[in-house]
Amino acid sequence: MNASLHSKNTSHPQKSLRALSTIPIALLAAFALALMLPATMRAQLDASARQLSREIFQQLVEINTTDSVGNTTIAAQAMADRLLAAGYPAADVFVGGPTPKKGNMVARLRGTGARKPLLMICHLDVVEARREDWSVDPFKFLEKDGYFYGRGTSDIKDGDAILMTMMLRFKKEGFQPDRDLILALTADEEGGDFNGVDWLLKNHGDLIDAEYILNPDAGNFESENGKKLLLGIEASEKLYADFTLEVTDKGGHSSEPTANNAIYHLADGLVKLQHFQFPFELNDVTREYFKRKAAIQVGETGAEFIAILKTPPDQTAIAKLSESPFYNARIRTTCVATRLEGGHAYNALPQMARANINCRILPGHSAEEVRQQVAKVVDDPQISIAQRDPDRAPTKINPTTQLGPEMISAIEKVRDQMWPGVPVMPEMDAGASDGAFTRSAGITTYGVPGVFGDINDDRAHGRDERTQVSDFYEGVDFYYRLVKILSTKN
Ligand SMILES: [Zn+2]
């Protein structure tokens, strides 16, 4: 199957080359490359790989893994069964979790041990989805008009299916990597109290010990109306922290107001915070991001990217980019009021006023450092400021991860084979992923989606979630190629 497809398609460019012999060599080379590309892609992703990946994808979408009524153990066990049936030894396939419904799966393909293992993490759980909110059944896998529909088709059961297919193909081929390849499919990334990555780190660190990690559920492979724009690799992310600002007072009768009103104290503090901006700061990842993005960004914004990279950075450009919530979040720590409560009766002076501040902290800074900064800005000893739930989220300083040369060259190599000319871009996510746990534990982590998504059609967490069929199969091909490069010494 492979061989016949390959030879059939490569005959075309040769014929074309002879006919077009007057055209400059460089142009011909590009032309020939463009013609040959689909052939190489199809040669790799044969019908059986397509079918296998689709079957796994369907199976996973149709196992409900929501926090409310779902069960990740069933999905984890189903994937473990596939690996065992394919010849993975029982000792290399683990299913376990803190509760019966919150199982995780870890599988290992043994390599020569020349290098430290490579770990891939991807969550099995999905966001809640109600049948009445959707136009189709969210837990029935459906292919329609070039899309796969169902909860998890873009977040992130596509990634689970892609990585599972890769592990099964490697085993079938007898591929021996030069390092162990570990796959961890986990619970409770979207919600719930039993984050699987956190649980594995704390309870089975030996199972997932690795030189670095790939996570398909971070970063952005962006496309727009079928045009592929960029390959965004998440090389860093901000740290998440909530703070409770609280004022208490003895209260009293509202007919005789006092100067010490808890609501006014809190409101004054919040207004000060509203007008405060954390300082502009770039790191290795965002610096490289703005440098590379400037090359493809049209108009004034591109010039602003270059201006903020100067020493000293251009203040006008910083101010301009700060107007965009997207860019503002990438050049500074942010804190914003998200919840408010207070008072206990319409006719009483408030005994309590409380607000929640949600902060997204730049790598290299700690939650405690930000808490102290907020206290300085609010500048009111009556307002207490405490981090909410400090034990739940990773609270250590999030180290900046550099886009390592091995990783960037491997991704560019696959890019050249599959999507020539599409720029590779290191990114720092403003939001948090499971990478927060692994980075906090000191393990270098890269968010590498593999699957393109249209920037105007992101339905993750929403209704009628979907992924384009061709993008999914290209993701299957992409990960197979990338991990092979990363586990083969050349
Ligand atoms: Zn996700």
Measured in angstroms, how far is the CA atom of residue 368 from the centroid of ligand 1? 27
Measured in angstroms, how far is the CA atom of residue 396 from the centroid of ligand 1? 22
Measured in angstroms, how far is the CA atom of residue 84 from the centroid of ligand 1? 26
Measured in angstroms, how far is the CA atom of residue 123 from the centroid of ligand 1? 7
Measured in angstroms, how far is the CA atom of residue 120 from the centroid of ligand 1? 14
Measured in angstroms, how far is the CA atom of residue 474 from the centroid of ligand 1? 19
Measured in angstroms, how far is the CA atom of residue 452 from the centroid of ligand 1? 15
Q: Which tokens hold the place of 449?
A: 């989606």
- Cβ partners under 8 Å of residue 200, min gap 6: 104, 106, 184, 186, 207, 208
Measured in angstroms, how far is the CA atom of residue 457 from the centroid of ligand 1? 16
Measured in angstroms, how far is the CA atom of residue 78 from the centroid of ligand 1? 20
Rounded Cα–Cα distance for residues 353 and 246 (Å): 6
Residue type, 144: K
For the four alpha carbons of 70, 122, 92 and 401, in that order, the dihedral sign comes to: negative
Bridge partners, 454 (sequence order): 223
What number of other Cβ atoms are within 10 A of residue 410's Cβ?
A: 20
Rounded Cα–Cα distance for residues 60 and 48 (Å): 18
Measured in angstroms, how far is the CA atom of residue 308 from the centroid of ligand 1? 32
Measured in angstroms, how far is the CA atom of residue 191 from the centroid of ligand 1? 10
Residue pair 466/149 in contact (Cβ under 8 Å)? The answer is: yes
Measured in angstroms, how far is the CA atom of residue 201 from the centroid of ligand 1? 19
Phi, psi of 103 (to 5 degrees): -75, 155
Measured in angstroms, how far is the CA atom of residue 194 from the centroid of ligand 1? 15
Measured in angstroms, how far is the CA atom of residue 163 from the centroid of ligand 1? 15
Site of tokens 């061989």: 3
pLDDT at 393: 61
Bridge partners, 445 (sequence order): 213
Measured in angstroms, how far is the CA atom of residue 188 from the centroid of ligand 1? 9
Measured in angstroms, how far is the CA atom of residue 143 from the centroid of ligand 1? 21
Rounded Cα–Cα distance for residues 28 and 158 (Å): 37
pLDDT in tens, the chain (490 residues): 333 333 323 333 333 333 334 444 554 454 455 445 544 444 468 999 999 999 999 999 999 999 999 999 999 999 999 999 999 999 999 999 999 999 999 999 999 999 999 999 999 999 999 999 999 999 999 999 999 999 999 999 999 999 999 999 999 999 999 999 999 999 999 988 999 999 999 999 999 999 999 999 999 999 999 899 999 999 999 988 999 999 999 999 999 999 999 999 999 999 999 999 999 999 999 999 999 999 988 889 999 999 999 999 999 999 999 999 999 999 999 999 999 999 999 999 999 999 999 999 999 899 999 999 999 999 999 999 999 988 766 666 667 677 777 888 999 999 999 999 999 999 998 888 888 889 888 899 999 999 999 988 888 888 999 999 999 999 999 999 999 999 998 6
Q: Which tokens hold the place of 405?
A: 């040369």
pLDDT at 404: 77
Rounded Cα–Cα distance for residues 156 and 127 (Å): 10
Measured in angstroms, how far is the CA atom of residue 429 from the centroid of ligand 1? 13
Rounded Cα–Cα distance for residues 326 and 320 (Å): 12
Measured in angstroms, how far is the CA atom of residue 480 from the centroid of ligand 1? 21
Residue pair 430/199 in contact (Cβ under 8 Å)? The answer is: no
pLDDT at 44: 61
For 101-110, letters b (16+ CB in 10 Å) and e give: bbbbbbbbbe
Measured in angstroms, how far is the CA atom of residue 60 from the centroid of ligand 1? 14
For the four alpha carbons of 307, 309, 315 and 318, in that order, the dihedral sign comes to: positive
Measured in angstroms, how far is the CA atom of residue 434 from the centroid of ligand 1? 9
Give the relative orientation of helices 284-294 and 300-308 as an angle to the nearest 10 degrees. 150
